[in-house]
Structure 1
Amino acid sequence: MQAEEEGERKELYNYQQEDIDAIFEKFEGKPDNYHLLYQLPTGGGKTVIFSEIARRYVEKYNRKVLVLTHRIELSKQTSQMLTGFGVKNTVIDSAVKELPYDNDFSCYVAMVETLNNRLKDKKFHMDYVGLVIVDEAHYNSFRKLFTYFKNSIFLGVTATPLSSNIELPMHETYDELIVGEPIKALINRGYLANAVMYGYDVELTSLKLGINGDYTVASSDELYSRSIMQDLLLQTYMLRSKGKKTLIFNNGINTSLYVYETFRAAGLPIKHLDNRTPDAERKKILSWFKKTPDAILTSVSILTTGFDEPTVETIVLNRATRSLTLYYQMIGRGSRKLPNKDFFTVIDLGNNAQRFGLWSEPVDWQYIFKNPEQFLENIRTDAEIESHHVYIMPDDLREKFSKTMHIAFDVEEEFKISTDNREKPKAVIDRSIRQHAFMCIENSETISEARKLAKELEPDIEYRVKQYSKLLSKTTKNYREWLIEDYKNRLSIFIGRIFQRYKDAETEEEVLELKKL
């Protein structure tokens, strides 16, 4: 067994030193089975902190340290960092079958499954380990090892003290939580770059929740592979991030491959990465991404941990998630600070900031740690989020209707007028169709041009129908979908029926009469 090559020792910042001192104060006088959880945002230097904790613990107590990780890449990175801090360590991977009792390593770094198998087979004996550090502690695969270390102190480290398994809450595993420096303070003190966030209201009603509480890959692929979503992604990239190094997160491999083809067809420098990519190809892609200033990398969540590329300038959330941890992990990939990088861009195409709040906003981690079920129950639903969405016509589309002075249509006000006049509710839809039709006719020279413009109104049509449906007592999803299709068909027919009469009208009075039809 060989320790990893010597890494570079990092200088500790003041807040890191303060947190380390606070953690050692907590250790004082505690029983051997004491479990402490430490929260620090992504980019705050968790690996640096627990490497120094390992060094000080070995020096102070003359007992060994074990660091648990959930991926081999993290094990190697951690080992290098520990070596940089002068901690003699080794990685316990699948090649390590025996561990002599009298070895001279003061620290072990191990993946959970590998270590669990060795301990079950009684190949290793680790009763001499005094401190167990659990990296990415919100993963619950670590708990199976706890029974082997009943005489050890545990330190869990995470950016988000919310268990990935609601059945195994963190407060049942850890005695207390220490909260580190918040994101806003790290930004203000110059340790993290600030996020400039751009959100786009997305209709997520087609997404389905899986047994893990997050959206299923199948329903995400179905939504985000649609041409309208691919177009939105490309347009927002061109507007907000063209020429910047960009990381795109997707929920499904199919979506990521669609993104790759869409961007490649637009002549943009992009590569795709997923968990099936061979190691050699993965290394080649990541090397290309590092060296290429305007590189775009589309991936499927595999770069949320253990990936550190400070030159990333834009994060695109091309997915929705109900995982608070994943939300912070994805955005955190862009938060690394560089001398010429004070800000980075976040493009949110999944209503995620509306669900969880802005990335840099304060979070009550103590409440989440102690009351995870209440927190999860109070996450805003998609229906609630979308009830506040307001459609605003993009500037480039508004220019296509430049001959129309007023394009707004207040569905709620029109519904009230219909009710007061004892009209049927569908009169609202009739008036909306008429207004849309004249917008298209006024700004076109031919019927085909007008109908082409009508197709560009689809987001506005969907928004109006959704507003109308909310005002009815009960509507189903199928009825709303039928209403939208019926609206588009009737709009096309009305344009054909009225177009020539409008163009032939010689006076304003004739036009006004037509608009009453």
Structure 2
Amino acid sequence: MPDKKNLSERDICTQYINPALQRSGWDFATQVREEVSFTKGRVIVRGKLHSRGQQKRADHVLYFAPNLPIAVIEAKDNKHTLGDGMQQALGYAETLDTPFAFSSNGDGFLMHDRTGQRTPIEQELALDEFPGPEELWQRYCCWKGIASSEKRTTVETPYYDDGSGKAPRYYQVNAINRSIEAIAKGQKRILLVMATGTGKSYTAFQIIWRLWKAKAKKRILFLADRNILVDQIRTNDFKPFGPAMTKIVNRQANKAFEIYLSLYQAVTGTEEEQNIYRQFSPDFFDLVVIDECHRGSAAEDSAWREVLDYFSGATHIGLTATPKETREVSNSHYFGEPVYTYSLRQGIDDGFLAPYKVVRIDIDKDLQGWRPEKGQTDKNGRLIEDRIYNQKDFDRTLILELRTELVARKITEYLKAIDPYAKTIVFCEDIDHAERMRQALVNLNPERIRENRKYVMRITGDEKEGKAELDNFIDPESRYPVIATTSKLLTTGVDAQTCKFVVLDQRIVSMTEFKQMIGRGTRINEDFGKYWFTIMDFKKATELFADPAFDGDPAQIFEPKVDESPVPPDEPDLRGEEEILPPPDPPLPLLPLLPPEAPGEKRIKYVIGGEVTVYVVAERVQYYGPDGRLITESLKDYTRRAVRKEFASLDDFLRRWTSADRKQVVLEELEAQGVLLEALADEVGKKYGKTFDPFDLICHVAFDRPPLSRRERVEQIRKRDVFSQYGVQAQRVLAGLLDKYADAGIQDLENIGVLTLDPFSQLGTPHELVRAFGGKPAYLKAVRDLEQQLYA
């Protein structure tokens, strides 16, 4: 039998851990999964390219049932001690929401009980003492307070499985199980907070499915306040409910179904006879799910809240990416604290959501303001009120036509630089601004408009043709429309999977609204190459990224109203979905708001033509950093700090660089720490007018060494006689590798697959070229020697 000390980690799993699990009764077909990757690996943007960071992977995850993970095992080889893997196992257990963590080196197990039910918390177990599934499940149920058979039946009911292999992601599993367990224990109000793009509708479906199949909830109402939301979930995530499901679309309630989907507007009205929900008895539904619960029904005195109050005996589940906590509205006051939260930062770190960069553009008149001359009139002959107009006024009370044109030009320039067909949402102040922006973009993109007039579309609630293109805009298969100008309609609930460019030319004072707008770009769609997105900000909206409330836990400051019989406000105009939004949050302390308009008063807009010029004062790019915040210092300062955190001196860096078999590994390590080499290459390259190698960028920026361009390094080698030891064929290969290095950098030099490309394919097959060096080991050594010469 081989010495245990010489066995690999995988051998330890196969020869010692797995037999121990089998002896204690764990079923490897249904209860044990090995090498479970539960994150995707953070997306690391490299200029126009991207890579993935390391996935989190557990050696073993144990399940009592397919939907119920209860333990994690981290294995180490036998050179490690029994507990060397425990801290890693605990990190995975916290992420996967499992109460038990185990570490093993093949000699036995160290068990950590996170339930706090037993002491000691950690204890060593022999290989034949590993607890069986029923023992751990009993302890799990006692910990969760679901020990009764009825509660266990509800919790153990499986997910919907269509046989395609699709399964909930780990955070969806956590959200589903936490919700089911809370309901099994009798909790009546549930709040789930999940970032935009993380699959709230799919999570809600699985919760409803399990409760419905367990007969814990028999009649369910799903409420939303956008028709597109209801239609999307009906045809997608909720489709398996089939004939048991209906959408309330007329004024007569049909009580023959079990799953009901509805708009608030479809069941409420200003007249009592229009309130369809009252055709159901108050106890008809035993579960009500409220999508985007921060919106229409969030306020205590809203007419839509009456629906929830009417069905108050049912369990209510609120879903939102942006819980609202203001003095007038509070999700946590109504639902309680969230049973589970999955933030944007977590989603980006896990690789399920797209990171972003911010292009911040400041315009002179926005910063300095503008004051009319005495007696000056606008294009329509109106006398302009004499005062200083600034950012809060533009496109609301004062229109500078050249400002609109400038914004449209910057958008067009960026799209031409990255991808003219990148799906783009431009958020404008109002419908009029969205229309003017559409016209400006049309005029700046004549060649694209000739290809298809729908290249740019205004998609707002008042315009039928634009709204009709919404499905095409969010359809990844449809190229057109490419650019959508809007005000509010695309703010929330629109699943724009391939949106790569979000433009903010709207003054945003609501954190909730800001999060929703940013959320339009956070989805990843690998099939269509969408891994990251850009935010272009013209109105300082991205200053809200610095607010702790952006990706933190909102504090409750709600003050309940003392009036017990509030009068609901007038119902909103239902003709266009743009107008049915609830009022925005109270402003954050950013810029003063305009005075409120009198009821029925139409806002006056002064229109100023070409006589008032505008120009860009400052433009800077900010990147999403590894700590979840924007990098606001200069890229060079940030790089210097990040590199010196890893390498105390130039000698430290050079030792690591020289000792690495593949230099690309060192670069990937730095990029994983947030060093943005492609962006740095652009910045430094523009200054010197040259293309630099990452090695030179790091030495120059972090350690103040003068940089050499890649071509300068290649020329230095060609002046030295370093190829004479090789035959003619091998010398041609090395010369070609140098050319590849000069053009594309170190990654091509270290990738043996480059031998399949020109000019190497003209010299021979990869096998023949490698043989010219005497075989693959000799070829790889020659490449390493070449690298040593390059960086000597």
TM-score range relative to shorter protein? 0.5 to 0.7
Work out whether 1:335 is the aligned partner of 2:522: yes
Work out whether 1:317 is the aligned partner of 2:469: no
**CA positional deviation for 1:319:** 0.6
Question: CA distance change for structure 1 residues 55 and 263 in 2, over 3 Å: closer, same or farther?
Answer: same
- Please name the residue that 2:456 is paired with: 270
One-letter amino acid matched to 2:267: L
Question: CA distance change for structure 1 residues 82 and 313 in 2, over 3 Å: closer, same or farther?
Answer: closer
Work out whether 1:381 is the aligned partner of 2:590: yes
**CA positional deviation for 1:54:** 0.7
Work out whether 1:54 is the aligned partner of 2:240: no
- Please name the residue that 1:76 is paired with: 231
Cα distance between partner residues in 2 of 1:294 and 1:122: 42
One-letter amino acid matched to 2:323: P
1:347-386 → structure 2 map (5 Å cutoff): 347-357=536-546, 363-365=551-553, 367-368=554-555, 370-371=556-557, 379-382=588-591
The question of whether the paired residues in 2 share the 8 Å contact of 1:140 and 1:168 is answered with no
Question: CA distance change for structure 1 residues 82 and 9 in 2, over 3 Å: closer, same or farther?
Answer: farther
Cα distance between partner residues in 1 of 2:433 and 2:217: 52
Cα distance between partner residues in 2 of 1:69 and 1:249: 23
**CA positional deviation for 1:81:** 3.5
1:67-466 → structure 2 map (5 Å cutoff): 67-86=222-241, 88-100=243-255, 103=256, 105-116=257-268, 122-141=278-297, 142-162=304-324, 166-201=327-362, 203=366, 219=393, 221-222=395-396, 225-242=399-416, 243=420, 244-266=422-444, 267=446, 269-278=455-464, 282-284=467-469, 286-287=471-472, 290=475, 291-292=478-479, 295-339=482-526, 340-357=529-546, 363-365=551-553, 367-368=554-555, 370-371=556-557, 379-382=588-591
The question of whether the paired residues in 1 share the 8 Å contact of 2:190 and 2:335 is answered with yes
Cα distance between partner residues in 1 of 2:393 and 2:617: 26
**CA positional deviation for 1:294:** 8.1
User: For structure 2, which runs of at least 5 residues remain unmatched after alignment?
Assistant: 1-161, 298-303, 371-390, 449-454, 560-584, 593-615, 621-792
The question of whether the paired residues in 1 share the 8 Å contact of 2:524 and 2:530 is answered with yes
One-letter amino acid matched to 2:321: A
One-letter amino acid matched to 1:48: Y
Question: CA distance change for structure 1 residues 277 and 392 in 2, over 3 Å: closer, same or farther?
Answer: closer
1:15 aligned to which of 158, 168, 171: 171
User: For structure 1, which runs of at least 5 residues remain unmatched after alignment?
Assistant: 1-5, 208-216, 384-390, 396-517
**SS of residue matched to 1:276:** coil
Decide which structure has the larger Cα Rg and report it: 2
Number of equivalenced pairs: 362
The question of whether the paired residues in 2 share the 8 Å contact of 1:218 and 1:252 is answered with no
**SS of residue matched to 1:38:** strand
Cα distance between partner residues in 1 of 2:397 and 2:502: 20
The question of whether the paired residues in 1 share the 8 Å contact of 2:473 and 2:481 is answered with no
**CA positional deviation for 1:379:** 3.1
Q: Deviations over 1:311-336 (max 9, x none)?
A: 22101011111111211111211221
The question of whether the paired residues in 1 share the 8 Å contact of 2:358 and 2:537 is answered with yes
Question: CA distance change for structure 1 residues 85 and 15 in 2, over 3 Å: closer, same or farther?
Answer: farther
Question: CA distance change for structure 1 residues 106 and 393 in 2, over 3 Å: closer, same or farther?
Answer: closer
Cα-Cα RMSD: 3.5
The question of whether the paired residues in 2 share the 8 Å contact of 1:274 and 1:302 is answered with yes
**SS of residue matched to 2:175:** helix
Cα distance between partner residues in 1 of 2:369 and 2:466: 35
**CA positional deviation for 1:9:** 9.9
Question: CA distance change for structure 1 residues 265 and 196 in 2, over 3 Å: closer, same or farther?
Answer: same
Question: CA distance change for structure 1 residues 393 and 273 in 2, over 3 Å: closer, same or farther?
Answer: closer
One-letter amino acid matched to 1:364: G
Q: Deviations over 1:274-320 (max 9, x none)?
A: 11112x65324652675227821111220122322222210101111
TM-score by length of 2: 0.42
The question of whether the paired residues in 1 share the 8 Å contact of 2:442 and 2:456 is answered with yes
The question of whether the paired residues in 1 share the 8 Å contact of 2:355 and 2:533 is answered with yes
One-letter amino acid matched to 2:482: A
**SS of residue matched to 2:521:** coil
Cα distance between partner residues in 1 of 2:542 and 2:225: 28
The question of whether the paired residues in 1 share the 8 Å contact of 2:218 and 2:286 is answered with yes
Asked which structure has the greater RCO (Cα within 8 Å, sep 6+), the reply is: 1
**CA positional deviation for 1:44:** 0.8
Cα distance between partner residues in 2 of 1:146 and 1:67: 11
Cα distance between partner residues in 2 of 1:95 and 1:186: 39
Cα distance between partner residues in 2 of 1:225 and 1:253: 13
Question: CA distance change for structure 1 residues 257 and 122 in 2, over 3 Å: closer, same or farther?
Answer: closer
The question of whether the paired residues in 1 share the 8 Å contact of 2:294 and 2:324 is answered with yes
One-letter amino acid matched to 1:115: V
**CA positional deviation for 1:154:** 0.7
- Please name the residue that 1:415 is paired with: none
TM-score by length of 1: 0.62
- Please name the residue that 1:27 is paired with: 183
Q: Deviations over 1:228-275 (max 9, x none)?
A: 431431242134333132111112111111111111111253221211
Cα distance between partner residues in 2 of 1:378 and 1:230: 25
**CA positional deviation for 1:356:** 4.3
The question of whether the paired residues in 1 share the 8 Å contact of 2:429 and 2:487 is answered with yes
The question of whether the paired residues in 2 share the 8 Å contact of 1:247 and 1:296 is answered with yes
Cα distance between partner residues in 2 of 1:181 and 1:323: 21
**CA positional deviation for 1:48:** 0.5
Cα distance between partner residues in 2 of 1:379 and 1:62: 41
Q: Deviations over 1:438-486 (max 9, x none)?
A: xxxxxxxxxxxxxxxxxxxxxxxxxxxxxxxxxxxxxxxxxxxxxxxxx
**SS of residue matched to 2:279:** coil
Q: Deviations over 1:477-503 (max 9, x none)?
A: xxxxxxxxxxxxxxxxxxxxxxxxxxx
Question: CA distance change for structure 1 residues 204 and 11 in 2, over 3 Å: closer, same or farther?
Answer: farther
**SS of residue matched to 1:193:** coil
One-letter amino acid matched to 1:93: I
Cα distance between partner residues in 1 of 2:185 and 2:619: 62
One-letter amino acid matched to 1:170: N
One-letter amino acid matched to 1:27: I
Cα distance between partner residues in 2 of 1:379 and 1:288: 32
Cα distance between partner residues in 2 of 1:254 and 1:299: 10
**SS of residue matched to 1:30:** coil
Structure with greater proportional helix content: 1
- Please name the residue that 2:300 is paired with: none
Cα distance between partner residues in 2 of 1:187 and 1:197: 15
**SS of residue matched to 1:316:** strand
The question of whether the paired residues in 1 share the 8 Å contact of 2:344 and 2:551 is answered with no
**SS of residue matched to 1:161:** coil
